[in-house]
Amino acid sequence: MIYDLIIIGGGPAGITAGIYAARQKLNTLLITKSFGGQMARKTVAIENYPGFEEISSSELIQRFEKHLRKQKIDIERDEVIKLKKLKKEFLALTKSKHRFEAKAVIIASGADPRFLEVPGEKKFIGRGVSYCTVCDQALFRDKIVAVIGGGNAGFEAAISLANYAKKIYILEYRKKIEADETNQERAKRTGRVEVITNAALKQIKGNQLPERGEAERRVEMKANSERGKLHRFVNSIIYQDRETKKNITLPLEGVFVEIGSQPATAFAKGLVDFNEKDEIIVEFETCQTKTPGLFAAGDVTDVRWKQIVVAAGEGCKAGLSAYDYLRGLQQRQNNISDL
C-alpha cells in the first residue's frame, strides 16, 4: 500500500501534523520511536503552553497522544533509519526492517541530547552518566551529583534533582550564567545547588569496568533501577578552571548532561539541505525542504525558537502544506489522464 503521507516523529510537531493530516482525510502513517519527544525530558512543570498555566510533561504528552489516537491514522512504534526518494514515491526503511511508501513525507524527528565527548562519558552511560534527569534522578537519593550545562535545562534539572540528591554542582563552561533569573533563584532556594562557572569538564572517572556493549549496559541499568538501586560506577569528575588552568577533582556519583541537542537527521541525508547547526533548512511559509513533497517541522529544522508551541505550530503548517501538495499532485495527474 502507498500512503498519502508519512510523518516521522511523535513529538509536538509530528503529533500536530498527524492531527491536521487526518482531519484533511489524508491516508497517513506516523512512525515514531516514542511519544512526547523532548517533553519527556522536562523535569519541572511546563508553564508556557497556552491553556495550561502549569502542567506536568507526562500529562501534556498523554493529552497529545490521546488527541492523535482519536484520529483516523496509522501509527508504528519504530525508528526510521533511511528515507529515499524513488521515481515518484518516498520509501522509509525502519530499524525493524519494515518498508513504508508514501507520496509525501513530513520529517518531525526533533533532536537528541548532545554528547560531552570527554573520556569516561561513553563508558559510564547508564552507570552514573545520564541524559534524562526525569528518568534517572530517583536513583541518586542522598548522593552528590553534577549537572553539566548552566542553561535553563541545566538549572531545571538541578532544581528537580534537589528533591533527591544531597548536593548538586552545576558546571557551566562560560563565565556568565544565561539561565533565567527565576530558575537561578529557584535553584538557590533549594540550598543544595552550587554553581561553578568557567569550568571545562575534562574527564569522568569511576571504578574499572569490564568491556561491555551499549545494549547490555542499558539492560543492566533497567534491571538495577527496577530493584531500586543502581550500581553507580562513576566516582568523580575532573574539570579545568578556565581562568587559573588548574585541574580540579570533584568526588560524586552522578553526572547529568544538559548541554543542548543535536538534530536527528541522519536518515534524511541527500534529500535536504542543512545549515551550520545541522538543522534542516525549510521554506518559512510552507515547511517545504529542497525535495518536492518532503516537508520538515519543529526542532529538526532551522526554525529559530525551539519550543513546544512553536513545534506544534510548525507541525500544523507542514500538515496543511502536505495536503496542498498532494491536492496539486492529484490535479496534475487528473489533467494528464484527461489528455
Ligand X SMILES: Cc1cc2nc3c(=O)[nH]c(=O)nc-3n(C[C@H](O)[C@H](O)[C@H](O)COP(=O)(O)OP(=O)(O)OC[C@H]3O[C@@H](n4cnc5c(N)ncnc54)[C@H](O)[C@@H]3O)c2cc1C
| Residue in 18, 22, 30, 38 binding ligand X, rule: CB under 6 A | 38
Tell me which residue of 132, 178, 135 sits closest to 155, measured CA to CA.
178
Residue 105 pairs in a beta bridge with 6, 294
- Per CB under 6 A, contacts with ligand X among 84-143 are 108-111
264 binds ligand X (CB under 6 A): yes
Site string for ligand X, 144-173 (x = CB under 6 A): ---------x--------------------
Run of H or E including 183: helix 181-190
Among 18, 37, 126, 319, binds ligand X (CB under 6 A): 37
Options 177-185, 218-226, 278-286, 299-307: segment touching ligand X (CB under 6 A): 299-307
Neighbours of 284 (CB within 10 A): 11
Question: What minimum distance in Å lies between the beta carbon of 303 and ligand X?
Answer: 9
Question: Is 46 an interacting residue with respect to ligand X (CB under 6 A)?
Answer: yes
What x-and-dash track marks residues 198-237 binding ligand X by CB under 6 A? ----------------------------------------
> Closest distance between ligand X and the C-beta of residue 23, in Å?
18
CB atoms within 10 A of CB 15: 30
Distance in angstroms (rounded) separating the CA atoms of residues 51 and 55: 10
16 sits in which H/E element: helix 12-23
Q: Which three cell numbers stand for residue 329?
A: 499532485
C-alpha cell at 197: 562557572
In angstroms, the CA 191 to CA 293 distance is: 53
Residue 34 binds ligand X, judged by CB under 6 A: yes
Residue linked to cell 571504578: 207
Residues contributing to the site for ligand X (CB under 6 A):
8-14, 31-34, 37-39, 41-42, 46, 48, 79-80, 108-111, 153, 264, 267, 298-300, 306-309, 311
